[in-house]
Chains A and B, each alone.
Chain A
Amino acid sequence: MDYFLQNVVNALQWGSFYALIALGYSMVYSIMMLFNFAHGDIFMTGSYIGFGVATLLLTLWAAVGLSMPGWVTLALTILISMLLTAMLGVLVERIGYRPLRDAPRASAAITGLMIGIILETGNLAILGARRLSFPSLIESVTYHFGGIYVTNKKILIVGVSLALMYALHLFIQRTRWGMAMRAMSFDFQVVPLMGVSLNVIAPLTFAVGSGLAAAAGILYGLAYPVLDPYMGVLLGWKAFVAAILGGRGSILGAALAGFLLGFIEIFVPMIFPSTLRDLIAYSIILLILTFKPHGFFGQAHSTQLRL
């Protein structure tokens, strides 16, 4: 039982990365019906930006002679990196997606894929092939609940991700921007005629998604403090699967599917050999999509492809 609960905790942590990244995919997808294949690499870049900001802040504190508590540095790091990565997201939208708005959807997917490769390679070219280790900003404390070990980092990661998801939910449901986004995802061809510019909403979507990816990247760096340029590839594709699995335009669906994927990936090795993890995870996804072809919360919509 303890073993099981311990894995639940691990799965919550692992799933929150998928959920945060999947939200970015899901938002772009629901508003413009496009795949943003660069998103996994935006996550990676966000992690690197977080590394840079954290190192900068730490040197700054040391230079000034301040002794800041770790959580202040962490909060500042997350906020600044989210802002910077949001700008990167806007840039990606401007270069890779806006010129292709009337093009076949697959072409935009290809530009996204290529921007991802450029981000990876640019990173490799600038920083070299060595791996960076993310500074541990807060002291690790382990709590015991019965037989379960929970570090404060795990609590922080799950807590911050849930808080961000709730903030996103409030943003989408309560603000005028969110209302515009919801309207746009309902019909992105008619709503621009009503005075909501797609040229404002699309960059906003990319910015919010990229900000969430940056937060995921920093939290990932806290949990697994080794950064390498290709860390976003596999995680990104898997989060993409989770986003689609959740259903189009459903924030809740994307988050739930992210956690589901995390749970599957943690619990399969409990029962089966760990090499079977991908096989079983994807077989489950295949089965779900065969019997529920529009994901968890997606409505059936006409998929008239623009080609």
Chain B
Amino acid sequence: MAAFAEGLGRPDNIGITAKKMARSYYEKKQVLIIEDLAEMRSQLKSMLERLGIRRIDTTLNGEEAIEALKSKNYDIVFSDYELGRGKDGQQVLEEARHAKLLKEVSCFILVTAAQTVEMVMGALEYNPDGYITKPVTYEDLSARVERILKTKLIFEPINQAIDDGDLTEALDQCDELIKERPKIALPVLRIKGRIYLHEHNLEKAEQTFKSALSIREVAWANLGIAKVRYEQENYEESIEILETLRNKKEKYVESQDWLAKIYEAQGDLEKAQKTLEKAIAESPKAILRQSELARVARLNNDWAVATQAARKTVSLSRNSCHKNPEQYINLVEALQTQIAPSGLRDRRYISTEIMKTLNAIRTEYPDDLSLMVHTYTLDSNTQQKLGKASDAKKLALEARRLIQSAPAEVAIASHVVKSAGECLAETCDKQTLMDFIESKAGQNYLSDEGRESLLQKARSAEENRIQEYIDSLNNQGVEFFEKGKLHNAIEMFDQAADQAAASFSVLLNAVQAHIALLQKEGPNEHNQKHCEAHLKRLSNMPKDDRRYARYAKLSEMFHACLSQKK
């Protein structure tokens, strides 16, 4: 039995020795505080200063914190869990560890209100090194911090090796520690399992997680086995483990991410999407989960969900290291599908959001020429969808200009060149596209297949354009005809009928107008010739065509006109 420790009469003894040890240790530490409330921030800072910490930076939110972490190596980070509207402390941790902004040897401590502790504890992949519950008094803080750092020190050789990128050494250190302190094997096995998974050593990973489970039923080890099974494509078993985890009271929302992955691998995209939607309902702020949902919903052609998720992804990843231009582009592409043919207000809303998103790309990535070109092609597509053909054409030509004036040393992504080509095919004449394909950029970036598909596209775009031209002439003709302006009507119908692609209906309209004029004004050689030419083409009409009766009738009428003339 130990003797009575520093107690009555000499209250400061243990305090002094502990403080002395700690002071020199703390003095060298670089600390970051993330706390949105000014009072708490300064309070925490003064407590840490009292502990002997000299170098303390403070930030107000997760976004600033990520920037701070990018610029400096911190030994200890104290983050409040609730950080206002932006990301929460757990997300800062996940992002920092994910992007390796925080060394493994560094310590991340979450400060939480008692009621949010459970949220912190539910994390399976990224855990804080410790947490402190509010209200934080100096006594609580100093005692807790010291213990957290002490524990962290036990793992330092392992973490150091991981930071150095020497995973073999890290594994050796793990074994060493387990031998030395067999009772803390569990957290060591957790690190080992993570390393083996990272190295794709599935056999060892499984072995490690299983030995953890033989000590105790821990959720992370079950998740580990599920990951191993996933990698082995043993989906059924993986699903079984993950579903058990999901149904636990802690919910372990990460298990849903893996379930979604498996459902996708099994080809059940709908189930994958549902699973992600459920996970997001539980933790709507997770960026990677939102972007997964956007991706999967897109594969599912569920554009409403894809748009919503893409929108969330973009807004969540602002100032995050998960931010990438792809997310913006995904959003624009999703939004484009939401341009409904009707609903003027919605169209305006969506087109404004698209423009805003495109402008965001242009301002945030001004030096990325490929991206810049891509914004113009996306813009052109959007205008095309909005029915603004001339704007679409201008933007397509601007994309072309950017590509062609690019400095030789700047490479432009070939998919961007291709999409610029597609815009030209949609909006310009075939020759413009041909010139583009033959140009240096076209030669450099387009494959034979790409070129062929562009030409195909140009052909069908041209056909569409001709069809539209014919339709509009025909419509005008009909209008004139109805008003009795037969000369104008004939002019329109003949122009339409002159196109090789003119349909039987157009030809019939032309014939009908000619006959009407013949009947009204008597024979006219010019009219008669045109009419005969149209009828000749109409003679190819199969007899079962629904318009055949009309043709037969008009043909009869025309011949009646001719015999009258005679």
Q: Do A and B bind each other?
A: no
